[in-house]
Amino acid sequence: MLKTPIARAVALATLGASLTIPTMAHAEFIKDSKAGLELRNFYYNNDFRDPASATSRGQSKQEEWAQGFLLRFESGFTEGTVGFGLDAMGLLGVKLDGGGGSGGTGLLPADLSSVNAAQRKAGSQDDYSHITYAAKARISKSTLKVGDLQLKNMAIASSDSRLLPQTFQGGQLNSMEIAGLTLDAGYLNRVNNRDSTNNQDIILSNVSGTNASGIRMNSGRQNLTDEFQFVGGTYKVMDNLTAAYYYSNLEEMYKQHSFNVVHVLPLADKQSLKTDLRYARSKDDGSTNIDNKAFGAMVTYALSGHSFGLGYQQMNGDTGFAYVGGTDPFLVNYVQVGHFGNREEKSWQARYDFNFASVGIPGLTFMTRYLTGDNIELGAGVAEGKEWERNTDIAYVFQNGALKNLGIRWRNATMRTNLPGVRDVDQNRLIVSYTLPLM
């Protein structure tokens, strides 16, 4: 696999970066470097449960099968007071089947030339690829990265739930100079989405053409911007108690304050009670009507390999929850299909997990959950909106033998709703992945 064009490109980029700093010591740069090639085979099917939709509401289903190649390189740092390094990814997606009228899953970019406008069916491209780079510098326990970034925090979390991951262009500073305290700040101006090959303006998600979210743009404004910034921190108050706060601003769209407290209470042997509390306050920033208070709580009781969870989420304000398009919003009831973050929505979640390692089958895990939401404000004279979703997730990673580290995952979802413009769906995802360490 190292002879593929994408692999050669990343290898040459890494070599070029090392040659540009000949006067610096390279020992740690090389010794601490890591590289791996992930092979990700992804089948995705959305059945909209609507036989008449081919002529009335769009495609009756979305179905695609694709192969992804993700070559990752993460260098160490050069020696000295200030250490320098480089991270890079080479990404390639190849269509195996689908897209001839059943595209739109997010696995592959749309092929506009193959769209059947009369029947409202979408096509997809045969392949797509791109390369990402991020330069980094480290002083003491603080690290600055500039370039293409994958982020995961309360303010913004890049999505990696399709064939290739979402990345952002910008800079991020992470500091752990104070024991127990992690400080985090960043500035982003472009995004490369999961089914895209180029960087674009950042989009505001959850803007609704119906009344489900209630989020609207001011007259003449698009929900696009080239500036997102965040700053926050996580503090380990005690070994079993963590508190976090983030402030974020999607320029001219919203300002958001997010809070999180996680507590794990040890009980008897192999038993614990985890409490996860979340609250976010979102306000408009000049070009929207955003006004939302989002509260969420998840309590999970763990007993040996079993976990039993109960969650509650409530939206208050003139609109639903606001977040950056394509990302994973920081909500306890954000699940496989829905986020349950519509205007005035109240939702419950019941979840069960089992790790088969507790009964002698390491690598096998199972999860199922059920969520129901109601009280969704749809406007005067309109009945309240309701929705429910059921998820099942079964995964196995081979532990030894010729197939060691090969992972297989099946994700199933059923969602039903009466929200205008939102369709019922039965969804299946089958993912086979394998990572080959290269260094």
Query: In tens digits, what is the pLDDT along the chain, a chain of 439 residues?
Result: 344 555 444 444 444 444 444 444 566 778 889 999 999 999 999 999 776 544 445 678 899 999 999 999 999 999 999 999 999 999 999 999 986 678 889 999 988 665 555 444 678 899 999 999 999 999 999 999 999 999 999 999 999 999 999 999 999 999 999 999 999 999 999 999 999 989 999 999 978 656 789 999 998 899 999 999 999 999 999 999 999 999 999 999 999 999 999 999 999 889 999 999 999 999 999 999 999 999 999 999 999 999 999 999 999 999 999 999 999 999 999 999 999 999 999 999 999 999 999 999 999 999 999 999 999 999 877 889 999 999 999 999 999 999 999 999 999 999 999 998 888 999 999 999 999 999 8
Closest CA to 95 of 66, 58, 131, 124: 66
Domain-embedded: residue 386: yes
Which amino acid would we find at residue 54? A
The verdict on residue 164 lying in a domain is no
45 lies in a domain? Answer: no
Amino acid at 301: Y
Residue 104 lies in a domain: no
Structural domain includes residue 194: no
Is 352 a member of any domain?
yes
End-to-end CA distance of the chain: 14
Q: Cβ neighbours of residue 76 under 8 Å, at least 6 residues apart?
A: 28, 29, 30, 31, 32, 33, 83, 85
Of 435, 411, 393, residue with least CA distance to 44: 411
| pTM for this entry | 0.90
Which domain, by its residues, includes 400? Answer: 201-438
Domain membership of residue 59 (yes or no) is: no
- Kindly report the CATH number assigned to the domain that includes residue 434: 2.40.160.10
Number of compact structural domains in the chain: 1
What the block records as the tokens of 90 is 């080479």
